[in-house]
Amino acid sequence: MMLEIDIITIFPELFGPFLETAFVGIARRAGSVEIRAHDLREWTSDRHRSVDDSPYGGGPGMVMTPEPLVAAIESLAGEKGPDRRAQVICLSPQGRPLDQERLSTLAAGPPILLVCGRYEGIDQRVIDLAVDEEISVGDYVLSGGEIPSMVLIEGLVRLLPGVLGNPDSIEIESFRGGAVLEGPQYTRPPVYRGLSVPEILRSGDHAAIDDWRRTQALARTRDRRPDLIRSQARDAERAHENEKLRLDHDDHDDDAR
């Protein structure tokens, strides 16, 4: 199955080397993903090929106008609604923060159309009329949606079947299998500037190594991202409550019979 990704941008040239290099290039050449960057100005109709105008109500900067954006989105994805050809995602600091779970569902889902904002952002009517979802890559503001699109694409592509040489590397990474950070990793040489690789990693005892890695991962998560542990505990508690409710409900049904 091939994942299709279209991108609307005023700087398609930014995607050139990105689309040719490393796993994104490998995945494209292997036919696991097709990625096309479209120049928004192709959908303009004036002599200056303009895509922005000054904001109503005043204020600094320019805002992206609705006409070319909606025309581009509708020609690539169809009109908003259940029958459209692609899921339309606008990259925006105001969107839902991107996480590993969302990447997994997107990697398995329908074609994707990414909309890259520039200037002070996009006329709200584009979002209301033509966008399905807004996604943020973090609580900071960049100058455009192109790098956030690349973040999303790189995160997606490595999840596609057959792209990574060793699929196990996905399973043991940070944020997989319960949102825990991966522990420290080492390669040769065994001693570097007086710092040694932990003895256990060179012991050949795989059970002990697994155990050490789990302990390190948990310690690192507790130290750097205690919020992940708390949300994991909340999820487990919620799952337990739901299971209890389900069992109570089943008992009730049995009594009624």
Ligand X SMILES: C[S@@+](CC[C@H](N)C(=O)[O-])C[C@H]1O[C@@H](n2cnc3c(N)ncnc32)[C@H](O)[C@@H]1O
Query: What residues make contact with ligand X under the rule CB under 6 A?
Result: 91-94, 116-118, 120-122, 136-138, 140-145, 148
**Residues in Cβ contact with 83 at an 8 Å cutoff, skipping those fewer than 6 apart:** none
Which has the closest alpha carbon to 201: 218, 191, 176? 191
51, burial (CB in 10 Å: exposed 0-12, middle 13-18, buried 19+): buried
Nearest-approach distance from CB 60 to ligand X, in angstroms: 9
Nearer to ligand X, 84 or 118 (CB): 118
C-beta of 122 vs 153, nearer to ligand X: 122
Closer residue to ligand X (CB): 12 or 217: 12
> Which of 87, 150, 144, 77 lies closest to 117 in space, CA to CA?
144
Q: Is 141 helix (H, G, I), strand (E, B) or coil?
A: coil
List b or e across 2-41, with b for residues whose CB sees 16 or more CB atoms inside 10 angstroms: ebebbbbbbebebbeebbeeebbebbbeeebbebebbbbe
- To ligand X, the closest distance from the beta carbon of 243 in angstroms equals 36
d(CA 68, CA 42) in angstroms, rounded, equals: 8
Nearer to ligand X, 10 or 180 (CB): 10
For residue 133, the minimal CB distance to ligand X (Å) is 12
Residue with nearest beta carbon to ligand X: 117
Among residues 8 and 24, whose Cβ is nearest to ligand X?
Answer: 8
- Residue number with CB closer to ligand X (130 or 180): 130
Smallest distance from ligand X to CB 48, Å = 21
CB of 52 to ligand X, least distance (A): 11
Residue closer to ligand X by CB (options 71, 151) is: 151
Beta-bridge partners for 8: 38, 115
From start to end of the chain, where are the E strands? 3-9, 33-39, 52-53, 63-64, 87-97, 112-116, 133-136, 191-192, 195-196
Nearest approach in angstroms of CB 71 to ligand X is 18
Instruction: Give the shortest CB-14-to-ligand X separation in angstroms.
Output: 13
